[in-house]
Amino acid sequence: AIRDLQARWHGPLASDGRPLRTAVEPAPALAAMSLAVLTENIDVLIENAHSHGAGAISVTVRDTADTFAVEVHDQGPGFGPNPDEAFQRGTGHGHGIGLALARSLAPSQGARLQITNPGPGPTVSLLIAPAPE
């Protein structure tokens, strides 16, 4: 999924002078989430960072002992004084329903989407259970 997102997003981000950096620690990270929902969630997070953030966008997958955290980080100002408003339709600084949709899709797969650093330099994390062995 991470290699695919690099292929999809490298061109659009590079054309705007926005590098995309990815890291998976440890590799491979096998998550208990459908590829379609995982891809939709990560695309929403990258699109949000691209539209509202600044600088490089980093996507890091790391093992947190009981989950995998897919963290999307940019160098922009962040979410403001009420970060949870970003997850409400038609509120905050957004124009669509992207983050609200992503947050509503995650629980259907046993995952959770949260703002782990509201900014500056915001990070949004998708917490996913590992695939059963």
Please, are residues 37 and 108 in contact by the beta-carbon 8 Å criterion? yes
* Per-residue model confidence as pLDDT tens digits over 14-49: 999 999 999 988 767 778 888 988 999 999 999 999
**pLDDT (tens digit, 9 = 90+) per residue, 60-119?**
999 888 899 999 999 999 998 888 888 876 544 555 578 888 888 899 889 999 999 999
Tokens in use for 14? 């590079």
Element (H, E) at 78: none
Q: Distance between CA atoms of 72 and 89, rounded to whole angstroms?
A: 20
State whether the Cα torsion 90-99-49-64 is positive or negative. Answer: positive
* Identity of the residue numbered 119: G
Check residue 27 and give its pLDDT.
67
Q: Can you give the pLDDT at residue 70?
A: 95
Residue 2, both tokens: 């991470």
